[in-house]
Structure 1
Amino acid sequence: MAADANRRRRRKGSSPEPEEKKPFWRRALRSLFIWGTAFALLALIFVGTAVYMTASSLPTYSALKSSQNGQMIVVRARDGTELVSLGPSYGKWLEYEQIPETMKTAMVSVEDRRFRSHIGVDPIGVVRSVWVRVQSGSWRQGGSTITQQLARNIFLNNNRTFGRKVKEAVLAVALETKFSKDEILELYLNKVYFGGGAYGIDAASRKFFGHPATDLSLAESAIIAGLVKAPSRYSPTADVAAAVSRGKVVMQVMEANGAISSARAAEIDLDTVRIAKEEGQNSVRYFTDWALPQLDLLLPYDTDEPIEVWTTLDVGMQRTATTAVQSNAPKGAEGALVSMDRDGAVLAMVGGTDYVTSNYNRAVQSVRQPGSAWKLFVYLAALEAGYTPQDMVVDEPVTIDGWSPRNSGGRFAGEIDVRSAFAYSKNTVAAQLGNEVGFGTVASMARRFGITTPISTLPAMVLGASEVRLIDMTRAFASVAANGTSVEPYGIVKVTGTDGDVIYERESRRAEVLVPQYVAAGITDLLQSAVATGTGRAADIGRPVAGKTGTTSSNKDGWFLGFSSGITTGVWMGRDDARAVPGLQGGRAPARAFAAFMRYAVKDRPVEQFDTELKLPDWQLEPDDEFLFGDPDDYYFVDEQGNLIEPGGQYEPLPPGAAPPPDRNRPDYADDPGPGGPPPAASDDFLDRATGARDPGLRAAPPAPGSRQTDPRSASGVSVTRGAGQPEATRPPAEAPRRPIGNAPQAIEPATRPGSP
C-alpha cells in the first residue's frame, strides 16, 4: 500500500505529458470547411437578399406579357390583305392550355430537360458546361435553363461575360420564386425569338408554316424548337435544309429522353413538311422601301406600339407588273415600273427584276436620260405658246449653237404637221420648237410637271439629255391624264394602332392647274397619235391609249410612259452600268411590258375616250383688231403730230391749244364732266386686253411663209426655215399708228400662230 501511495505522489508532483499534434492537412481542411461554410452562408444571405430584392421588383405577369422588343409594322394592300410584316412579329398570345403538348414537349426536351426540377439554375448543366470548357478551352456548351433564357431575352443582352451570367442566374431564380413553371414556360414560348423577325411560337408558325400555332404538328413543333439555338442560321427563311436538319436532331433528342416512342419517331418524315413561301417579298419590298420611310413625316408623334399601314398597292397589279418586267427585260438588263391611279395613288411599283439579288429601287432612286420621252415638255411649251396639233412644221436639217440633231434613220420628212412630228418623234422639229419657245421655258415646264432632278438648258436638252427619275416622269404623264392638273404620288392611305384607332389618314388635296385645258387636250392628242400610228404602236391594248417612247443614244435606255382609263404607267429598261443593250428601244420591250401590265390593270375599268377637243382661247380665235379694239369707228385717235383722226380715217387738224372733242357715243358721256374731269377714253377692261395683262400668251407675229429670220425669243438665235403654204398672219391696216385718246398706252397688236383661224 505504501508503494501505491508513493506512485500517486509522483504523478501529482510531475508535469503533464504533451498532447499529440493533428496533421496539417486535417487542420487546413477543418479551417477551409469552417471558413467555406461561413462564406457560403454569407453568399447565401447575399444571393437570397438579391433574389428577394429582384423578385420584389419584377414586373407583374400581365406586364411581362405585354412587353415587346421593338415595333412591329404590318403593311396592308388597298383591299386590306397583308402584304408584309416588318420588324418583330409577335403573333397571337397563347395561354398555356392552348399551346400544343407536342410543342411544349419538344422545347423542354431540347432546351432544358430538367426544367420541372431545378430552381431556375441547373447545377448539373452548369457543371457539365464548365467541364466542357476545361476540356476544349472554350465555352462550347451552354448551361442556361429555359428560365435563364427567358430572363436574358426580357431583361439582359447576349454579352458573354461573367457579370451577365451572374445577373441572369439571379433573375432566373427570382422568376422561379415569383411565377409557376407553367407561367414561365408560357412566357418563354410566347416571347422567344425564332428568326425571320418572329417572336413567339404563333408568329413563327404563321411565318414558316402559314397557320396558327394551335395547329402545329409534331414535325413542325420539332422544327420550331430547333430554331432557338441559332435563329439566324436555322430559320427556314434563311435555309430550309438547315431548319429541317436541325428539326431531325430535336426528334432524336425527344426519342432519347422518352418524350416520344421510337415507333412514333419513325413515322415522322420532316422532309415532307411544307414550308410556307413569303408571298410578294421579292417585289412588294420595292414599294415598302419607298413608302415606309415617309412615316417619319406623316405620323404626328413617335410611337413604339405595333401599327398597321394601309397602302395604295394593288396585289394583282403588283404581281402582273413584276411578271411584265421580268418577262420583257432584255437579257442582262434591269427593268422598273411605276403605275398610278388618277389621283396619284401608286398601284404598283417594281424597282428591278429581282429584289433578293438587288434591292436597289430603280423606280425611285435611279436617274437616267429619258430620250424622246422628254419631248412631252417641249411640245407642252409649244402648245402653250400657241401651236396646235394641225400646224405645219418642217422636218429638215437644223443647227443650234453648233449642235445638229439628227432623226432616227437619218431621213427628213419635209413639211409635216405637229401631230406627225410628235408621233414619229422627229428630233429636228423638237429642236426647232425648243429653240423657238426657249430652252428655259421647256425646263420651266418640266419643273411645273414635277421633275425634281437638275435640268440642263443647253440645246440638246430637248432630246432628253437631263437625267430624270421614273417616278417623276410617270407623275408628269399622270398630270397630263388629269387634264393638266397636278398629281402627287402617294402610297400610304392611313395608319392605325393595335386598338384600331387611326393615327394618320391622308386628306384629299386640291389639284393645281398646270396648263390650260386646250394645252392638255393638245398634248393628249399628240400622245394618242404616238400610240395609234407612231413609235408607240406596241403599247396598243385595244382601247384608247396615250403615251410616248424614249430611247437614248446607243440603246442604253428604253422608256415608255402612257395612260388609259385613268391609270398612268411608266416603264424603264437598261443596264445599271449604263452600257448599251442591243436592240433596246422604247417602242419595243418597254412598250410591250406596258401593254402586258395595262391589259390587266384596266380590265375592270370602263373604256374612256380622251378629251382632245381644243377649246382655244379667244386670242387665238378672233381677228386681232376687231377683238382687241372693237369697231375702229367707235374711237377717236390722234396721229404722232397730235392731229385728230375722224372716224372713217379722215384727218382734221386741231386748232392750236384745242383739246380733242369728247366721245359722244359713250353711254356715260355728259356735257359737264364735273369736277372730277372727263372720264378716261378707254375702260379698264379695254386696257387689260390691249396691254395683254389678261393674256400672257400674246407674243410677236411669226415671219411670213418661206422667210428666214432670227427668232428674238430663241435661246441661241438659230435660223429656222418655215415651210411653205402657211397662212399669212393677220395684220392691222397699213395706216398711221393709232393711239386711243387720253392716257391709255399705245394699243398692242396681237399675233396669230400659223394655222390658227
Structure 2
Amino acid sequence: MYRLIRYVKRNRKKSLVVLALLIAYYFCLPRQLFKDPAATVITGNSNELLGALIADDGQWRFPESDSIPDKFKTCILQFEDEYFYKHPGFNPISIFKALKQNLNSGSVKRGGSTITQQVIRLSRKGQSRTYIEKFKEIILATRLELRLSKDNILNLYASHAPFGGNVVGIDAASWRYFNRSSYNLSWAESATLAVLPNAPSLIYPGKKQKHLLNKRNRLLKKLFKNGTIDELTYELSIAEGLPQKPYPLPQSAPHLLQKVAKKNKGERIKTTIDISLQKQANIIVKQHYNLLKQNEIYNISVLVLDVNTREVLTYIGNSPTDKAHQKSVDIIDKPRSTGSILKPFLYTSMLDAGDLLPNTLVADVPTQFGSYQPENFNQSYDGAVHANEALSRSLNVPAVRMLQDFGLDRFYHYLKQLKLKDLRYNANHYGLSLVLGGAESNLWDLCKSYAAMASTLNHYNENSSQYFTNEFIQPIYNSESNINFGKLTNEKTVFDAASIYLTFESMKQVNRPESDESWEFYDSSQDIAWKTGTSFGFRDAWAIGTTKDYVVGVWVGNADGEGRPGLVGVQTAAPILFDIFDILPKSDWFSKPYDEMFEVNICKKSGYRASSICDDTEQRYIQVSGQKTEPCPFHKLVHLDTSQRFQVNSSCEAISNINNTPWFVLPPLQAYYFQNKNPFYKPLPPYRNDCTESSGVSMEFIYPNQQSTIFLPKDFDGNTNDLVLKVAHSKPELELYWYIDNQFVGSTKDIHDMAVLPSDGEHIITVVDALGNELKHKITISE
C-alpha cells in the first residue's frame, strides 16, 4: 500500500489518466440496458398464460423473466456460446478464429460474439457491425459481467433476442410458434428456438424451412454426441416437424387483461384466476350466448369470488359477441339498473334492526304512494304473505311496503355501508323505487357485498362469535395483493350474523329455473342462497348466489341498454348461474350462529312472536334484535255462541254461554285477496240477529286507489264502459250506501261492487255502512 502511494505521487499524470479511465469504464454501461416497451401479460394462479396485450411498438415482447427453461438454456449455450460460464464477457479464441476467417474471405462471415456481447449489441440498436463497434461491445460486455451474474445475463438475452417477425424473447416465441409455455417445450422445439436468434427470418412460414430444419438437426446431433440426450430422444426429436404459422396468444380473460393494463401496463401479473374454471365458464357463457342472441340478447358477464380469500376466480367481462355489440366493453364494473337484486339487503337490514322476523306477515295488496304505484311481476296479490316468502318469490309490493315501514333513509344508510359506488345521489332522489331497480349498481360491488355477508357469517362461527372490522373489503385479482380483514371485535360491521343467516335461509327457497326444479331430490345438488333481478323495461337480468365458499354473479342484457322480451333474471341469468355452480366444488351449508340467536314461541299463521291467545305456535330461532318486535296483532278473542256459528255479546247471551275463541283476523283489504289463495282462511262469523254489534268494524277500497286518474275505455259501439267500484268490509253482510259527490247512486250487500259512469273530472266517492262508518276516496276521470 505504501509503495502504491509513492508510485501515485511520483506519477500523478499517469495515475489521473488511469483513474479517469477507471471512472469512464465504471460509468460506460447504461444503468438500464433495455427501454423497449413490453407486452402486458397476465397468468392464472398456477402461472398458466391467460392473455397478453401487445407492446406499444407492435412487438410481442413479454416482460423480462427471472429464469429460463433448462432445455432452452442447454440448447442456446451449445449453439451460441459453449464457454459462456468460463469467459469474462468475450472469448479471445472465438474472436481470433472469426477475424482470421473474415480476413481470408474478404467479408464478415463469422461474428465470434459471446452471449454477453450479443446482449450488448441488442441493447445498442441500429449500430453498424464494424470492428470499432465490436471493440466497444467487448468493453461493455466485460463491464456487464462485473455488474450481473451469468444467469442474469442469460435471462436478458433470452428475453430480448429476436425470434422472427414481431416476436421477441423466448416466452413470446414459445407461445407464438408452439402455443404453450417455454417450460413445456420438447428438445426439438427448444432447439428450433435456440437457432432462431442467429437468423430470425428463417421462421417465416413457407420460407427457408429446409435451412432451419438443417440448423436445428445439427444442434440436436451435437446434443446427442455430447450425451445431453439419448439416442431415442434424438431420433424422436429429428422426426418432429417445424412450426408453419404463428398461433394467436391465449385470450381466456381479455377484459381482465384490459383492467390490469390500466394500472400495470407492460408488466407480467400473476392473477388469482383459476384457469380451468375460467375456461369452463367461458364455454358455458358461449353456449348461452348462442341461444340468447337468437332473441337479440348479446351481452353476458360473470364473476366468481372465493368467499374465504376474496380472490377473483373467474372474470368474464363480456360474451364472445362482435364489435357491433360492444364486445370489448367490460360490463362487470359498469352501472346497471339493479331490479330486485337489492331486496335481500332490505330484508337483512330489517332483521338486523329488529323491525322484522323471518316469517312476519306483510301486506300484499294494491298500493299507491302519491303517483308511485308498484306492482308485482305477475300482477296479482296475495293479501298477506310471510316476509321470507315475499323475498323468495321476489314480490314487489311487499318489498316497497316494507321499505316504507322501515324508512327510506335507514335503508339507504345500510346500503352506503356496503360501499356501492354507483349510489351517487341521496335517498330522496331514488324514492321507494330504490328497492325495485330505481338505483344502479354493478356486478363487482354486488358480488363483493354478498361475499362479505357470507364471510361475516363464516368468520363469526369460526372465531368464537366475533366479527372482523374490515369485512366488506374489495376483492382481489392480483395474487400479490394481500387481504386484511382487520381486527376481531364483538361489534358487527354492518349486519349481525343471525340476520345474514336468516336471509340466506330465505334465499335458499327461491324457485330455481325449470332445469333445476327438483334440485333438492338429487344427492349432487347443494344449497345455494341466490336471488334474481329484472330491471324495468327488460334491460337487465341479474342472478347472484352464494354458498359458504363461493359467490357467483351473472348479468345478462345488451350493453347499449336495449330491452328485450324474455330478458328476465330467472329465465336468462339464473341458468348460467347454476351451470357455473355445477363446475365449482360443492360447499356445506352455513352453520347456525347460535350466539346471535334466541329461541322464542312463534305464531305459525302470522310469523310474529306468539301472543297469549295464539292457538297454533312453534319454537323457532330468531335474531336477538327480533325480541323487540310486537306480539301477533292478527289474533284476537272472539265471543261465540254455543253453536260457534255466530258472534255474541252480553247484550244477547248469558256470559256463562259465551265461548271465548282465538281467531286469526286480517284487515278487510288483505283478507279479500288472502282468502282467494288460502281457502282455509275463515272470516269472522257474523253477529247473531238479536245482538247489538260492538265496534271494530272496518272497510277499505279495493278499487280504485286514492287520488288515482282513471281512463274509461269504450266498446265497439262507441259507448263508454262503466267504472266498477269495489270495497272490502270486515262485515260483508252489512249493507253499504254509495255516493258520488254527495249524490246517492245505490247500495250493496255481501258483495260490495258498484258500477257507475261518472263524468270527466274530479269526484269524491263516499261509502257509508249500516252502522254509520264512512269511507271517502278522491279520483279523477279522464277520457
- After TM superposition, the score normalised by the length of structure 2 is 0.53
AA in 2 matched with 1:478: A
1:558 counterpart residue number: 541
Q: Secondary structure at the match of 1:373?
A: coil
> Which of 71, 74, 81 pairs up with 1:98?
74
Instruction: Assess, with a 3 A threshold, how the Cα gap between structure 1 residues 175 and 215 changes in structure 2: closer, same or farther.
Output: farther
Secondary structure (helix, strand or coil) at the match of 2:569 reads coil
Q: Tell whether 2:298 aligns with 1:333.
A: yes
Q: What is the 5 A alignment of 1:118-157?
A: 154=120
2:625 to 610, 617, 639: 617
Deviations 1:241-283 (A, max 9, x none): x74335627538969x9999xxx9xx877467798886xx423
Spell out, residue by residue over 1:349-372, the C-alpha distance to the aligned partner (whole angstroms, 9 max, x if none): 222234998884635432211211
2:442 to 469, 475, 478: 469
Give the conservation status (yes or no) of the 8 Å contact 2:255–2:330: no
Deviation at 1:338, TM superposition (A): 1.6
**Inter-partner Cα distance in structure 2 for 1:608 and 1:439:** 30
Deviations 1:587-627 (A, max 9, x none): 12311111111122133x44556669423437526889xxx
| Structure 1 portions without partners, runs of 5+ | 1-48, 106-113, 129-142, 235-241, 297-303, 496-503, 625-703, 710-715, 726-757
| Residues 1:597 and 2:575 are matched in the alignment | no
- Matched to 2:507, the amino acid is L
SS of structure 1 residue aligned to 2:363: strand
Superposed counterparts of 1:336-375, under 5 Å: 336-343=301-308, 344-354=310-320, 360=328, 362=330, 364-375=332-343
The answer to whether 1:321 aligns with 2:304 is: no
- Identify the residue that residue 509 of structure 1 maps to in structure 2: 486
Quote the offset at 1:556 in angstroms.
Answer: 1.9
1:220: how far off?
6.3
User: Equivalents in 2 of 1:338, 1:592: separation in Å?
Assistant: 15
Map 1:669-708; keep pairs closer than 5 Å: none
What is the aligned partner in structure 2 of residue 528 from structure 1? 508
CA separation of 1:271/1:59 partners in 2, compared to 1, >3 Å: closer, same or farther? same
The 2-side partners of 1:197 and 1:355 are apart by 28
Quick check: which one's strand share is greater? 2
For the residues of structure 2 that align with 1:272 and 1:542, how far apart are their CA atoms?
Answer: 46
Q: Residue 660 of structure 2 corresponds to which residue in structure 1?
A: none
- Cα deviation digits, residues 389-443 of structure 1 (max 9, x gap): 3222232332334222332233333332222322222222222222332333332
Go from structure 1 to structure 2 and tell me whether the alpha carbon gap of 1:120 and 1:200 turns closer, same or farther (over 3 Å shift).
farther
Aligned in 2, Cα 1:89/1:246: closer, same or farther, shift over 3 Å? farther
Could you give the per-residue CA deviations for residues 33-85 of structure 1, whole angstroms, max 9, x where no partner exists?
xxxxxxxxxxxxxxxx9xx999956889xx99998978999866556777678
Q: Percent identical across equivalent pairs? A: 15
Matched, 1:193 2:169: no
Residues 363 and 609 of structure 1, relative CA distance in 2, 3 Å threshold: farther
Q: Which amino acid aligns with 1:438?
A: G
**Number of aligned residue pairs:** 527
1:249-260 matches, cutoff 5 A: 250-251=211-212
Distance change >3 Å, CA 477–CA 724, structure 1 → 2: farther
Query: Which position in structure 1 is the counterpart of 2:390?
Result: 421
Structure 2 counterpart of 1:546? 529
Distance 1:76 1:457, change over 3 A: same
Equivalence for 1:376? 344
Task: State the secondary structure of the residue aligned to 1:337.
Answer: strand
Amino acid at match of 1:520: I
Offset from partner CA, 1:696-734 (integer Å, 9 cap, x none): xxxxxxxx996889xxxxxx9xxxx99999xxxxxxxxx
1:396 maps to 365
Distance 2:69 2:248 in 1: 23
Contact 1:125 1:144 in 2 (8 A): no
Letter in 2 for 1:514: V
Corresponding residue number in structure 2 for 1:87: 63
Q: 1:334 to 1:436 in 2, by over 3 A?
A: same
8 Å contact from structure 1 (residues 550, 585) kept in 2: yes
Cα 1:554/1:249, change in 2 over 3 Å: farther
**From 556, 560, 567, the counterpart of 1:573:** 556
Q: Which residue is equivalent to 1:457? A: 430
Contact 2:542 2:555 in 1 (8 A): yes
Q: Distance in 1 between matches of 2:100 and 2:335?
A: 59
2: CA distance, partners of 1:77 / 1:474: 21
Instruction: Work out the CA distance in 2 between the residues paired with 1:538 and 1:197.
Output: 55
Which residue pairs with 2:567 in the alignment? Answer: 584
User: Closer, same or farther in 2 for the Cα pair 1:334/1:91, shift >3 Å?
Assistant: farther
**Deviation for aligned residue 1:345:** 2.9
Structure 1 Cα separation of the partners of residues 581 and 373 of structure 2: 37
Q: CA 1:217 to 1:276, structure 2 compared with 1: closer, same or farther past 3 Å?
A: farther
1:258–1:98 distance in 2 versus 1, CA, 3 Å: closer
One-letter amino acid of the counterpart of residue 536, structure 2: S
Cα displacement string for residues 609-650 of structure 1 (whole angstroms, at most 9, x for unaligned residues): 6669423437526889xxxxxxxxxxxxxxxxxxxxxxxxxx
Query: Cα offset for 1:566?
Result: 2.8
Amino acid paired to 1:244: P
Cα pair 2:304 2:552 within 8 Å, conserved: yes
Range moving further from structure 2, 611-620 or 381-390? 611-620
| Counterpart for residue 478 of structure 1 | 451
Aligned residue for 2:89? none
Amino acid at match of 1:596: D
Partners of 2:514 and 2:25 in 1: CA distance = 80
1:406 to 375, 392, 401: 375
Task: Give the SS at the match of 2:622.
Answer: coil
**CA 1:460/1:226 → structure 2, altered by over 3 Å: closer, same or farther?**
same
Distance in structure 2 (CA, Å) of the matches to 1:587 and 1:614 = 29
1:284 CA displacement: 4.0
- Provide the secondary structure at the position in 2 that maps to 1:555: coil
Contact 2:98/2:110, CA 8 A, preserved across alignment = no
Q: Name the structure where helix makes up a greater proportion of residues.
A: 1
CA distance in 1, matches of 2:354, 2:396: 19
SS in 2 for 1:365: coil
Give the alignment partner of residue 448 of structure 1, picking from 408, 417, 440.
Answer: 417
Higher Rg: 1
Distance in 2 between residues matched to 1:620 and 1:427, nearest whole Å: 26
Deviation at 1:156, TM superposition (A): 7.4
Q: Which residue of 2 aligns with 1:245?
A: 206
Equivalent position SS for 1:338: strand
Structure 1's 445 and 118: CA in aligned 2 closer, same or farther, altered over 3 A? same
Change in 2 beyond 3 A, CA 1:161/1:124: farther
Q: Distance in 1 between matches of 2:256 and 2:439?
A: 26
Structure 2 residue aligned with 1:491: 476
Which secondary structure does the structure 2 equivalent of 1:425 belong to? coil
Relative distance call for 1:705 and 1:120 in structure 2 (3 A) is farther
Greater Cα shift, 386-395 or 480-489: 480-489
Secondary structure in 2 matching 1:444 = helix
3-state SS of the aligned residue for 1:190? helix
Structure 2 counterpart SS, 1:601? coil
Aligned-pair CA distance for 1:289: 5.2
Question: How far has the Cα of 1:548 moved from its partner?
Answer: 0.7
CA-based RMSD of the aligned residues comes to: 5.9
Q: Aligned-pair distance for 1:470?
A: 0.3
Matches within 5 A, 1:100-119: 104=80
Secondary structure of 2:503's partner?
helix
Residue 554 of structure 1 aligns to a residue whose secondary structure is coil
Length-normalised TM-score, structure 1: 0.54
Measure how far apart 1:177 and its partner are: 9.7
- Report the residue type matching 2:319 in the other structure: T
